[in-house]
């Protein structure tokens, strides 16, 4: 049997909104000790005030390697043994074709979705290996497998997440540390508002006529993979709303 969540310390990055916030609330409901990170200190504090479980809030930008390492390598004793990492921090920016896309947006996605992810995992992983237990959950995307117009660098970063998680699995065999890449499809959070640089009307059109996944759906999936018995590793979990399917039918039609 898997250890109950109230015996676990779980680190969640990007916990100020969307998937990260929902994951924190879902795991807190089962009594897990939480470390929640994000850039927006006011939102982190509101989350901590709402949760009825021991919670440590760390406000920093995951792209800042020095701040990340300082925060995660000097944890208070109560939170120092991280049993699970949910590496959720990530974003998409822009939906322009590659020849028109913003280089600044590309760099931000690569820095957040790839470099910051690798730095976060590297900061936490040695302790897990030393203790002989742990679970790393990365938040990928179906965009890492299935391209779409305008998804260019975002999709490439999520392909990195998928391959990085698979590489971790290969490295960690025999250590007792598990790795899962969770790959959601269309989900309605602040994701599209961020992608369109705060344009709420444009973001809303993405979900018109569709019942998308919710942040709570993704949080339930994270809860499920974390509570499997220690001998079970869910390597990849893809989930989509019923209204979405990948058909390979993206074609260019003249006129």
**Residue 250 within any structural domain of the chain:** no
* Residues in contact with 181: Cβ distance below 8 Å, sequence separation at least 6, in sequence order: 137, 138, 140, 161, 162, 165, 166, 235, 236, 237
**Residue 248 within any structural domain of the chain:** no
Containing structural domain, residue 117? 5-239
pLDDT of residue 201: 83
**Residue 245 within any structural domain of the chain:** no
- CATH code, 184: 3.40.50.720
Q: Write out pLDDT tens, residues 180-195.
A: 999 999 998 877 888 8
Catalytic residue among 106, 154, 160, 196: 154
**Residue 244 within any structural domain of the chain:** no
Classify each residue of 134-161 as buried b or exposed e, where b means 16 or more C-beta atoms within 10 Å of its C-beta: bbbbbbbbbbbebeeebbbbbbbbbbbb
Domain count across the chain:
1
Q: Write out pLDDT tens, residues 80-121.
A: 999 999 999 999 999 999 999 999 999 999 999 999 999 999
CA atoms of 189 and 90, how far apart (whole Å): 13
pLDDT of residue 123: 97
Task: Judge residue 66's burial from the number of C-beta atoms within 10 Å of its C-beta, 0-12 exposed, 13-18 middle, 19 or more buried.
Answer: exposed
Residues in the chain predicted with pLDDT less than 50, given as ranges, are none
**Residue 232 within any structural domain of the chain:** yes
pLDDT of residue 188: 85
Q: Is 154 a catalytic residue?
A: yes
pTM for the model stands at 0.93
Q: How many helices (H) and strands (E) does the chain have?
A: 9, 7
pLDDT of residue 245: 86
pLDDT of residue 250: 54
CA atoms of 226 and 178, how far apart (whole Å): 9
Angle of CA points 94, 63, 172, to nearest 5°:
105
């Amino acid at each position: 049997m898997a250890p109950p969540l109230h015996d676990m310390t779980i680190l969640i990055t990007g916990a100020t909104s969307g998937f990260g916030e929902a994951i924190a609330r879902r795991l807190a409901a089962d009594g897990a000790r939480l470390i929640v990170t994000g850039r927006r200190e006011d939102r982190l504090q509101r989350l901590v005030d709402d949760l009825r479980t021991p919670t440590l809030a760390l406000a920093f930008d995951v792209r800042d390697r020095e701040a990340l390492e300082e925060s995660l390598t000097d944890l208070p004793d109560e939170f120092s043994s991280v049993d699970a990492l949910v590496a959720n921090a990530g974003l998409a920016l822009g939906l322009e074709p590659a020849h028109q896309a913003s280089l600044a947006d590309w760099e931000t996605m690569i820095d957040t979705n790839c470099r910051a992810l690798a730095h976060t995992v590297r900061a936490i992983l040695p302790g897990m290996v030393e203790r002989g237990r742990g679970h790393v959950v990365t938040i990928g995307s179906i965009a890492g497998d299935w391209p779409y117009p305008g998804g260019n660098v975002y999709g490439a970063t999520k392909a990195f997440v998928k391959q990085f998680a698979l590489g971790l699995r290969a490295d960690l065999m025999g250590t007792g540390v598990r790795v899962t890449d969770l790959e959601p499809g269309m989900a309605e959070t602040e994701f599209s508002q961020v992608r369109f640089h705060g344009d709420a009307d444009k973001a809303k059109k993405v979900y018109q006529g569709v019942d998308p996944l919710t942040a709570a759906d993704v949080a339930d999936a994270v809860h499920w993979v974390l509570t499997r018995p220690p001998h079970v590793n869910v390597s990849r979990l893809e989930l989509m709303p019923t209204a979405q399917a990948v058909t390979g039918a993206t074609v260019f039609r003249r006129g």
